[in-house]
Structures are given as structure tokens and as C-alpha cells.
Amino acid sequence: MTAVAVELEPEQWEDVCALDDIVPWTGVCALIAGRQVAVVRTGDAVYAIGNLDPFSKAYVLSRGIVGDKAGVPKIASPIFKQTFDLRSGQCLDRPEVSVPTHEVRVERGRVLVRREPRAQGGHDGS
């Protein structure tokens, strides 16, 4: 059983880019399993959230303004400026709204994003 799980593991991750390709405090967009995902770097941490802004219905979150609010890493939509917690995907302005998040890991200088979004509410910020 364990050998099968390890063998299938690489198929669950998408190699997006080199960590150095993402300027700190910015985001890039990646197509992962047919979905646009915003991959955002905040200093040493990397997060991945759905790129669709639920308020403007435009795929723009990767172009948002990255920062933090009281220690919470966030990104502000470039359209209507709602902010999203990069760890959970929850909108900080309207908590009932959220975007999907993906698990991220950095291995040997490469950013890997899990193909399937995680269940709402999880975070790690690898």
C-alpha cells in the first residue's frame, strides 16, 4: 500500500516554475488541471489560490496587491480591492465569500502546486 501511494504522489503535483521566477510580494498565474491558479510569494512563503475574483468575475487575483493585515498574508483584487487571506482563501472584507486554495511545496528551488484544491479552511504557506 505505501509503495503505491508514493508512486502516485508525483502525479498529484504540478511543477509550476522556479521559486526565483516569482518576485517576492507578487503573484503569477498558472494553469493547473484546467484551472487558473494564482501562485503568490510573500517573502519566504508561497501560496496558491483560485485566480477568479468572485466579485468582478475576472481572472485577476494573480495581479493583485500582496501584503499582510495584522500578520495575515493577503492579496487585494486589482478590480474592486477586496482582500483574500492567502492561507484560507477567505475574503477578509466579506467572510462568507472565499476562493479555493491549493497546497504548495518548494523542492529543490521549484514551486509545486497540488492539482486538486484543498477542502476550504486549510492552509500551510510552505
Residues of the chain under the 50 pLDDT cut: 1-8, 121-126
pLDDT at 120: 67
**Architecture of the domain whose range is 13-114:** 3-layer Sandwich (2.102)
Please list, in sequence order, all residues whose beta carbon lies within 8 angstroms of the beta carbon of residue 108, skipping any fewer than 6 positions away: none
What nine digits make up the cell of 40? 503568490
Residue 96 CA, distance from chain mean position: 19
Distance CA(116)–CA(73), nearest Å, equals 22
For the CA atoms of 125, 87, 32, 20, the dihedral, rounded to the nearest 10 degrees, stands at -40
Please state the domain extents for the chain.
Answer: 13-114
Classified as helix, coil or strand, 104 is strand
Tell how many helices (H) and how many strands (E) occur in the chain: 1, 12
pLDDT at 119: 78
Please list, in sequence order, all residues whose beta carbon lies within 8 angstroms of the beta carbon of residue 68, skipping any fewer than 6 positions away: 42, 74
pTM over 0.85: yes
